[in-house]
Amino acid sequence: MNSDTPKAVVLMSGGMDSCVTAAIARRTYQVAALHASYGQRTEKRELESFHKLADHFGAFSRLTVKLDYFAAIGGSSLTDKRLAIHDADLSNKDVPNTYVPFRNAHFLSIATSWAEVLGARKIFIGAVWEDSSGYPDCRPEYYEALNKLIALGTKPETDISVETPLIYQSKREIVKRGVELGAPLHLTWSCYRDSDLACGVCDSCALRLRAFQEAGVDDPIAYATKPEYARI
Amino acid sequence: MNSDTPKAVVLMSGGMDSCVTAAIARRTYQVAALHASYGQRTEKRELESFHKLADHFGAFSRLTVKLDYFAAIGGSSLTDKRLAIHDADLSNKDVPNTYVPFRNAHFLSIATSWAEVLGARKIFIGAVWEDSSGYPDCRPEYYEALNKLIALGTKPETDISVETPLIYQSKREIVKRGVELGAPLHLTWSCYRDSDLACGVCDSCALRLRAFQEAGVDDPIAYATKPEYARI
């Protein structure tokens, strides 16, 4: 990689999906690493993972933003401590209470503004539709509409688009892809609960553990409890 | 108006266009007033105007957010003090250096998240395409694409759309509309420069003064200098 290598902004939450996404982006692009805290319970843990991952991927720039207003807006168990984080029910297909209203649009707006100033033509996000929690802002059509909005809402000479390399993959495939690419999954944090060890039973832990179990790979992070979730 | 009156989130910068937009929204909706500061030079003046306008329109809720990260991103003379605010050249059709990359998407993402939690089905923004500064995120197609994004990115039972009642109006028509509706234009602040009086010569002052002159109406705010801009 040198200064002629094209640039990409990579959204990195600190979780598994964005880690694998960054590993994919890094093969072709210089990485500008973007992290947004929004008053979620685990923001400190996620930020630690973000910085370790940005170091690992040799990010040429990093931007961390704190969106305090999400706490004022409320409406999600991730940002409103009066709402409980439920244990996982992976058979439930409703939008879960961890949904943060229209959250990804905030992150992607920041990524687009930054990309326009940096001269980056790609934005990577680890959105996963299949096998995901059912968040509406993870579906493929959402990203098609977003790319149209970006084309219309930036300067005429700007050419930025959002890439979602994992969107059609299952979580099991994402684990396998991460292992193949040597992605540093041991540095990631996925749990929705703020404790020393990942809880193993929230939606996010359950999806992650099931993915590792189905992929036949040991999850390198530590859990308070490690139930068996695999369907196969 | 009573508690059955439907709710709308109204983006209020403190300027003339959003003031007239709020006056339009107020006829049908209870107003939830949203203001975003983003490190622009005049944020204090704009915020003062916002609160006076929110009082005037009897806002049932107000949300003020501070998006500090725009200063870190840079790229605009409004947020980067190393770039000069040029005096107006109303014949120039290029995107001016006051353009803040992809700015409106940030504001509208916040408005959408808030509307979803409040149960508001409309978001009002005073975007003006004709006779505007040539910002790409003020064009009608941009709002069509945004409404599609909102439909796809929110919960299935949510039905939120963005209204741009002034988008096809000239600034002259907006002044006339504001006067007809009794909008409190004396409470607004439009100037891009941070001084005691509006400068009268930046792009925003020039567009405003020309509009009042063409409408044959006295602008009720004070200016340091008041050039003649009218084309007619």
Q: Hey, are the CB atoms on B104 and A153 less than 8 Å from each other?
A: yes
Q: Which residue of B has its CA nearest to A72?
A: B63
Nearest residue on chain A to B112, alpha-carbon basis: A102
Phi, psi of A6 (to 5 degrees): -65, 155
The count of other CB atoms within 10 Å of the CB of residue B37 is 18
Burial of A104 (0-12, 13-18, 19+ CB in 10 A): buried
First to last CA, chain B: 41
User: Which residue of A65, A102, A143 to mutate against B (max B Cβ within 10 Å)?
Assistant: A102
Q: Are A153 and B102 in contact (CB < 8 Å)?
A: yes
Q: Of B103, B155, B5, whose CA–CA distance to A102 is shortest? A: B155
Sign, CA torsion A148/A68/A192/A75:
negative
3 state SS of B7? strand
Residues B102 and A153: beta-carbon distance below 8 Å: yes
- What pLDDT tens digit does each residue of chain A (232 aa) get? 667 899 999 999 999 999 999 999 999 999 999 999 988 878 899 999 999 999 999 999 999 999 989 888 887 777 777 777 777 777 776 777 777 889 899 999 999 999 999 999 999 999 998 755 678 888 899 999 999 999 999 988 889 999 999 999 999 999 999 999 999 999 999 998 888 899 999 988 999 999 999 999 999 999 999 999 977 5
Q: Which residue reads 């929004």 in tokens? A: A38
Residue with tokens 């509406």: A136
CA atoms within a 13 Å half-sphere pointing along the CA-CB vector of A102:
30
In B, which residues are within 8 Å of A139 by CB distance? 152
CA–CA dist B129, B151 (Å, integer): 23
pLDDT at B132 over 60: no
d(CA A154, CA B118): 30
Q: Which residue of chain A is at minimal alpha-carbon distance from B117?
A: A75
Using an 8 Å CB-CB cutoff, list chain B residues near A95.
Answer: 155-156
Q: Which residues pair with A35 in a beta bridge?
A: A64
Q: What are B2's two structure tokens?
A: 């009573």
Q: What domains lie within chain B, and their CATH numbers?
A: 7-189 (3.40.50.620)
CA angle A35, A63, A75 (to 5 degrees): 35
8 Å CB contact of A73 and B142? no
Distances (CA, A) of B34 to A207, A227, B181: 37, 45, 21
B182-218 pLDDT, tens digit per residue, is 999 999 999 988 888 999 998 889 999 999 999 999 9
The chain B residues in contact with chain A (CB within 8 A) are 63, 65-66, 68-70, 72-75, 95, 99-106, 109-110, 112-114, 116-117, 136-137, 139, 141-142, 145-146, 148-150, 152-156
Nearest to A65 among B69, B75, B153 (CB): B69
Does this model's pTM top 0.95? no
Does the structure show a pLDDT above 80 at B89? no
Q: What is the pLDDT of residue A108?
A: 97
Task: Report the sign of the C-alpha dihedral through residues A29, A104, B65, B87, in that order.
Answer: positive
Best A118, A142, A149, A160 member to test B by mutation, with max B CBs in 10 Å, is: A149
For residue B155, the chain A residues in CB contact (below 8 A) are 95, 99, 101, 136
Task: With beta carbons under 8 A apart, name residues in chain B contacting A153.
Answer: 102, 104-105, 136-137, 142, 145
